[in-house]
Structure 1
Amino acid sequence: MIYKIFITLFATLLFNQAYALSNFELERLSDIDYRDNTNTKINDINLKNISIKFNKKNKVKSYTDEEGHYIPAHNSIEGYVLKGNVKKKFLSEKYVYGSGENVFDISCSKNGSNYLILMIQSYNSGIRFGSLEFITHIYQINENGLSEIKEKNISILGSGGEIVFDPSWTPHYKYYNKKLLLKRLYETKLCAEPALTIKQLGNNKGDIKEITKNYLKNYLIIDSISGKTLTSYNNIAYYLEKAKAYPEAIYLLEKIIDKYPNRTVAYINLGDAYWGLKNKEKAKQAYSTYIKQMKEKGKERKIPKVVLERIK
């Protein structure tokens, strides 16, 4: 009897340890664009003519069986294309996870063809080491919604794979984060690589009006906002605002502020962009932060009169 109790307690302890993320696993997850969003909604994707929504379904909740074994939840992710009043399912993936799942997307184009690449990650706990499973899909965007291109998916991305978090850290799947994935799409010529660098765009080279939100997303994947790229990205946002590309300017400026909340000049640019969209409430919020930071830096005299007039 005592023997059986000991075995049960040992098994429970073992499985509890197995399904808790170790420091090693957390460190590796930081390299893989992973976040534990088990209980949160997966973001929708809005493209030019269609929108895409995801629905997570909990098929079987996690439980402990009669022998004390932890059985992870069985779940699924379903994707729907919405065009006007028409709703059509295009994705249904089932999996077992121990901690959480993510979906991230990359949109790109080449020679007039537009593509959507989806990467589904699911974290699976193991008795010794946890693992991440990757499922990939490549879709061509057309008038009717999405058409999956399975042969390109297999030849370019290998239809996904797995990484086991063992101490040797030898990933079996090569394209385990957005940067590696996008570089692979450029390398295989599925997506057109931007002709200009961030620095060139920041120096006002090329046609700024051609910079779409998807282009900005891809630029940010390859060259994230950092001390090295901050000035260039701020300049690009300024040029976008002056070109009346307000949504794109706002998207980039909010990314800058999220990373560098004390970037004072970004707030006046953000205020100008919202003002251009006639969203005066959000413009005033941005201007107010700009004024506050300018006063804290002893630069109150340099605040443009137009900003002070707009917040009245």
Structure 2
Amino acid sequence: MTNKLKAFIFPLALTLVSPVTLGETLRPEGLLSLRELPIEEGSADIQRLQITDRSGMVLVDTDKALPLIENEYSPNSYDGYTAKLLAERQTKITAIDLQGERYDLLSPSTRSGDYLLLITREEGNGAYNFNLRFRYDATAKSFDLNQVLLNENNSECDHSLLSTYSIDRKILGVISIANFDGRRVFGVLKELRLAHQTSGNMAEKLMPETVASNFDAALKAYKVGDAQALKTLVGYFLSGDEDGDCEPGNYIVEKYYFPQKVGWSNDLGFLFEQAGHYPEAVELLQHITRKHPDRVVAYLNLADAYWALGEREQARQAYGQYHEKMTAAQKQARIPPRVLERK
């Protein structure tokens, strides 16, 4: 395989996306387009990445960012990255999963501005991808690595996005696109994903904006006693495809358990139970009680879900654990009567 650049065939221009929310004005920092120089399959292992501003000034011109990496399992197939330009809003972040679907996520530390997004692609990988986000610094005329996202998709059922994690960018040893070696980093990212599978403590899990807003609406429906609205809204949290609903064990925990927001996850488990989605409630609440045995109310919610499923023995055990923990905390007066009747 040769290691040279192919001649320019035709430019792929990706103009900035500028989502604007009410009362917010985005001021794109002068970017015009991103151009890749396509190559004929199998004839080279490099693509050139060029970004210019509206005056025609070249901001990025590198042949290291978009390598074509031979796939070790599929002959004549190549892995690597695709590139996009985005204009982001304050506290919101765009993630693009391996299906090419876009998701708006809540990220309080995210600053508005223009971003270069490098998205990993790997032949035969139906489980995850990475998004590398480089923020444009108009003063320095540079794209600095701002965030690394790991997107996990549901490979067991509907292939939708399960979760997005923000990985410590320092692990990559990259400061900006100027010193970015795509081939080296691609290998590091594969190792990072393997490490994440064995220990998720290295990453912060981000919540999709639609999940947060739907939860707020469902909780409001519960508080005002609107059972029909509650059932409808909680139903939006379920996953499925043309073959039917996904098994709760294939997605509920990975999608809705947020280690940094355990109270939120417990409340969603409660709403699952209140809306009649008992298997989903059990799946989520069981995980919470295992990971956070001090989350006392989760035992009560879990017990109620088991009871509704007719699984009396598991329900009695959970009621008993709840009663024991409340008693140890000297909160017997707050124990609901049904606990004493059922434990």
Q: TM-score range by the shorter chain?
A: 0.3 to 0.5
- Normalising by the residue count of structure 1, what TM-score does the alignment of the two structures yield? 0.39
- Normalising by the residue count of structure 2, what TM-score does the alignment of the two structures yield? 0.35
